[in-house]
Structure 1
Amino acid sequence: MDTGKRTILKAILWNALGLLTMSLVGLAMTGSAAVGGAMALVNTLIGLTCYVAYERVWARIGWGRSGGQTHG
């Protein structure tokens, strides 16, 4: 099972990639770096929060693990 710190670091790095991608998409779609960047930032903050919660929930579920061990 990943530690909470590992989960958060993974989420931050994944969302940094998403922020870059969404910033470029937002810029291409709106023609504005400010609007595209703001859209990407909001999307990233929502995604980061959801990802951390999702990972922590699954870290407590033993189903599908060898030995069926549960944590928490």
Structure 2
Amino acid sequence: METRRRTLVKAVLWQVLGLLSMALVGFYLTGSAAMGSMIALVNTSIGFAVYVLYERVWARISWGREHG
């Protein structure tokens, strides 16, 4: 089973990558750094919460794991 700390660190790093890519997409689509950043922040906040929950649910499921 994965520790909560490991799940949190993985989620933070993943969301940083998502934040940067979404900010670039938002800027490209709107032409505004402020609007692109706001879109990225909202998306990242929601994505972070969902990702942590998703990882914790899967941490409790033993299907597909090999114990060796």
The Cα RMSD (Å) is 0.9
Alignment of 1:52-71 (within 5 A): 52-67=52-67
1:70: which partner in 2? none
| Matched residue SS, 2:2 | coil
Structure 1 residue 40, shift from structure 2 partner: 0.4
- Higher RCO structure (Cα 8 Å, ≥6 apart): 2
Structure 1 residue 2, shift from structure 2 partner: 1.3
Structure 1 residue 66, shift from structure 2 partner: 2.4
Structure 1 residue 64, shift from structure 2 partner: 1.4
1:40: which partner in 2? 40
Q: Percent of counterpart pairs with the same letter?
A: 63
1:21, 1:64 → 2: CA distance? Answer: 31
2:11: which partner in 1? 11
Q: Which amino acid aligns with 2:17?
A: L
If the length of structure 1 is used for normalisation, what is the TM-score? Answer: 0.88
1:46, 1:5 → 2: CA distance? Answer: 19
Unaligned 5+ runs, structure 2: none
Q: Which amino acid aligns with 1:46?
A: I
Q: Which amino acid aligns with 1:24?
A: L
